[in-house]
Amino acid sequence: MDQFFIKLSIMLVPGLMAITCHEVSHGFIADKFGDSTARSLGRLTLNPIKHLDILGTLMVFVIGIGWAKPVPVNFNNLRHPKRDMIWVAAAGPITNFCLATFSAFLMRGLIAATQQVPEGSMIAAFVDPITLMLAFSVYINLLLGIFNLIPVPPLDGGRVAVGLLPYGPSSALARVEPFGMIIIIALVFFTNAFSYVISPALSFGVHLLAGPYSNLVFGVTRLMMRG
Which residues are part of the catalytic machinery? Answer: 23
3-state secondary structure of 25: helix
Type of residue at 150: I
Q: CA angle at residue 131 from 221 to 55, to 5 degrees?
A: 45
Task: Give the separation between CA 43 and CA 180, rounded to whole angstroms.
Answer: 24
Closest by CA to 51, choosing from 11, 15, 81, is 15
Helix ranges (DSSP H) in the chain = 2-32, 37-40, 54-63, 81-113, 122-147, 156-164, 167-174, 180-190, 193, 199-210, 214-226
3-state secondary structure of 52: strand
Task: Give the separation between CA 158 and CA 180, rounded to whole angstroms.
Answer: 9
| C-alpha to C-alpha distances, 104 to 31, 141, 212, 216, 223, nearest whole angstrom | 30, 11, 11, 11, 19
Task: Give the separation between CA 117 and CA 212, rounded to whole angstroms.
Answer: 19
